C-alpha cells in the first residue's frame, strides 16, 4: 500500500470518528490500516482461501 492510499484511509478513519461511526467493519478496517496492522479484509480472504484449499 502506498502513501496516497494510507492517507486516504486516514481521512476515512477521521471522517468516521467525527460521525460517531466507530462500530462498523469499515471503521475497524481503517483503524487497523492506519495503525500499521494487516488489513482485516485481506486477512479474512487469506484465511478463507486456506480453508478452501484444506477442504479440497
Give the mean pLDDT of the chain: 94
Encode burial over 34-51: b for 16+ CB neighbours within 10 A, e otherwise: beeeeeeeeeeeeeeeee
Rounded alpha-carbon distances, angstroms, from residue 48 to 17, 43, 44: 30, 9, 6
Q: Are 44 and 17 in contact (CB under 8 A)?
A: no
At 13-44, the pLDDT tens digits run 999 999 999 999 999 999 999 999 999 998 88
For the chain, the structural domain boundaries read 3-55
pTM of the predicted structure, to 2 decimals: 0.78
Retrieve residue 21's grid coordinates.
461511526
Amino acid at each position: 500500500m502506498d502513501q496516497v492510499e494510507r492517507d486516504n484511509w486516514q481521512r476515512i478513519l477521521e471522517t468516521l470518528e467525527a460521525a460517531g461511526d466507530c462500530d462498523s467493519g469499515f471503521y475497524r478496517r481503517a483503524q487497523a490500516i492506519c495503525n500499521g496492522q494487516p488489513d482485516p479484509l485481506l486477512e479474512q480472504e487469506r484465511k478463507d482461501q486456506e480453508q478452501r484449499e484444506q477442504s479440497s
